[in-house]
Structure 1
Amino acid sequence: MKTKINYLAIVVFYSIAIALRYVTNKTTVLDNLSSEFLKVILQGIGPAIGAVISFLIFKIKPTPSLKGNYKNLLIPLLLYWIFPIVLILGTEYYTSGTFSFVAVTAILVYGLLEEMGWRGFLQQELKSLPAIANVLIVATLWFIWHLNFNLTTSNILFFGILILASWGIGAVADRTHSLLAVSAFHSLNNFFPEMSQIKIIILILLVSVWILSLIIKKRKQNRL
């Protein structure tokens, strides 16, 4: 278990993450970019860049990976990326005749880039802290990174959601060590910014399948 926190690495990581967030979200640097897909990706790339640079500078070995502790990459790829893409796009095409492949893919990639930082780097770097302290610090820095400081009810609710997400996604990270898994859970909120009956059904189905798979995975690991 990691026992020493590299605070300088965290400062470097967060400085890069929040600086890039400011440039891509609070300035006009992306205004002339024609690709909406690329624009979305760049808006969430800060945590990933910060994590990679911190890993390299401070020679920190990443714990999570795309595959995680699954036997091969295909399992988490099918379960956490292909399954939601097929389910969401299939339902969308059946109900409205549209097919938002680029948008759905962008949401997953965006979630992956964020999770490379929050769970892939920061949560692991704070591993020696008590679990509640880890969750609160990650959630607070994650909230500040969004650069939205209006004292509104929705913002307070959003902070609460980030605390729950830091706990829940953090548990998935601990269980799977897979960035594909945590990015999928991260993307749920972005998949469904507005709820409807069909979206609630999709959400329940996705979460149910994923949680069941985690339970089965844990039972198999306990038998070993």
Structure 2
Amino acid sequence: MTFKQKISSAKWIQILIFYILACLLTFIFTKFPNFIKNLWISIFSLEAPFSWNHGIGLLLATLLCYLIFKGNNRTSILGSKPVKSLLIAALYLIFYSVFGLSNNFGINQHVWALIFCSSMLVYNIFEETAWRGFLHDRLAKVPTWLKGIITGILWGVWHIFIFENFNQFGGLQNFVMLTILVSIIMAYAVKKTNSILVAASIHGLMILRNNYVTIICLVLWTVLIITWEKDNLMIRRKTAYNNV
């Protein structure tokens, strides 16, 4: 298949409709009261230091597009190897819990790390269902590196509806360059695993930057992802050998 044919395989109209709807619902939901903050106050008597409103709007747009545009979806929450996907998420939660996160709530830093990272992982699934789920699948046979660039641009620009400014990144252009880089990494990870949970775990690791946890997780995750289909390969070789 030529490069032009690969580009033509993408569902561009669906992608455009999805992105317009995603931006629209994200903008609308950011005007609503902070759902997660109110929930945490009622359950834990804590004011959550984050809002999920934009993620809820994005998830709703994604689910609507899944309902409207039927198709063969390769990606799923747990991907082609559910146990390995769960292990990748578990490693992220375990190592952050071991190292801990400081907080102003008087909660043990290890307990808070587990609570905060678990909550973040759930939220990241909201986002990654859109970017590395629906969008990744609708880009079809577009080369993986280009999927990462396209997704990274759309993902980065979408944050205009969330952040007041991008000064901490040195401007919007620098932030979009960052989202492109991360998207390329996640595009290859999703190509290998078909797992939204894997992408959500990588997303969380990129936001919370503890050098020790980052190094440990990246090493272990790289091994898991590289050997993702190794058991299938061994089974095929054994079957072929037995058939000789």
Ranges in structure 2 where 5+ consecutive residues have no aligned partner: 41-47, 237-244
Partner residue of 1:20?
A: 25
The one-letter amino acid paired with 1:35 is: L
Q: Deviations over 1:26-80 (max 9, x none)?
A: x35328952356963333133322222112112123211122111xx33321x12
1:44–1:82 Cα change, 3 Å: same
Identity of aligned residues (%): 23
Partner residue of 1:144?
A: 157
Q: Which moved more, 1:82-91 or 1:129-138?
A: 129-138
**Count of equivalent residues:** 213
Is 1:207 aligned to 2:212, yes or no?
no
Q: CA deviation at 1:203?
A: 1.0
Q: Name the CA distance, whole Å, in 2 between partners of 1:132 and 1:86.
A: 31
SS in 2 for 1:217: coil
Partner residue of 2:85?
A: 76
SS in 1 for 2:33: coil
SS in 2 for 1:44: helix
Partner residue of 2:148?
A: 135
Ranges in structure 1 where 5+ consecutive residues have no aligned partner: 193-198
Equivalent residues of 1:126, 1:134 under 8 A apart: yes
1:58–1:97 Cα change, 3 Å: closer
Q: Which moved more, 1:101-110 or 1:27-36?
A: 27-36
Equivalent residues of 2:124, 2:200 under 8 A apart: yes
Task: Please provide the CA RMSD for this pair.
Answer: 3.0
Q: Which moved more, 1:171-180 or 1:36-45?
A: 36-45
Q: CA deviation at 1:222?
A: 4.7
TM-score between both structures, scaled by the size of structure 2: 0.75
Partner residue of 2:118?
A: 105
Partner residue of 2:204?
A: 187
The one-letter amino acid paired with 1:89 is: S
1:132–1:28 Cα change, 3 Å: same
Q: Name the CA distance, whole Å, in 1 between partners of 2:213 and 2:37.
A: 32
Q: CA deviation at 1:116?
A: 0.5
| Structure exhibiting the larger radius of gyration computed from Cα positions | 2
Q: Name the CA distance, whole Å, in 1 between partners of 2:200 and 2:177.
A: 19
